Amino acid sequence: MELNELKLITAANLIRLRTGQNLTQAELGAKLNYSDKTISKWERGEAIPDAYVLVQLSEIFGVSVNDLLSAQDQWEPPVDPVAADNARSYSVNVIIAIVLIGIFTAALTVFVSLWLFDIIEWRVFLVALSVGLLVFLILDCVFKHARHLLPILASFVLSLFLLAFFFSPLDKPWQLFLLIIPAEVLVFLGCKVKRVPRVRDLAPKVRHMVKNIKK
């Protein structure tokens, strides 16, 4: 197999797998610690990822390294990948915005309904904030592959402390806020946990990849 042919095959597979998971080039680059320009270069068939990156790609997309290097479909350059990514991202953002606005509209409806009975209960907005952040977290994981996981999860944890503070029967339980720092640190560390491939798992995959390149 010629090197140029291998580059085009890898480019076609990379485009198909990335778009299949609704990932932009920038999002995939962030997962690999590469720039979107490098991803674009791979997808144009101008270069091929090295062995370690191929293993990382196989784990991200749930395929084998051989699948990345073997012809699956006829290679066709995307019509306009940037425009397609932007359109998809815009649609997802609109869906998320509609859902979040719906949650706060429901909270406002409850607030106004209680107000009509001379009950001022502004804490319904705190509940809406926590529910909205939780829904935002779920939608971000489903549609954007946890692109904003850390800030959303950190905000959600903070909103839970606010709920506990304002709904607690105790008199100003400010001691609860002493737990915020360790809780946020745990969230930060938890979001940074990544699976590192073991050397004994990496070696067979690399050997298999080299054999296919030599064919």
Identify the CA nearest to 158 among candidates 184, 197, 194, 131: 184
Q: How far apart are CA 115 and CA 104, in angstroms?
A: 16
How do residues 52-99 score in pLDDT, each as one tens digit?
Answer: 899 999 999 988 888 888 876 544 444 445 444 554 556 788 888 999
* 145, 112 Cβ separation under 8 angstroms: no
How do residues 77-90 score in pLDDT, each as one tens digit?
Answer: 444 454 445 545 56
* pTM of the predicted protein model: 0.53
pLDDT at residue 119, as a whole number: 92
Q: How far apart are CA 43 and CA 35, in angstroms?
A: 13
How do residues 157-207 score in pLDDT, each as one tens digit?
Answer: 999 999 988 888 877 678 888 888 899 899 888 887 765 545 444 445 444
Class of domain 3-78+198-214: mainly alpha
- Where along the chain do its domains lie? 3-78+198-214, 91-167
Amino acid at 9: I
More confident residue, 42 or 173: 42
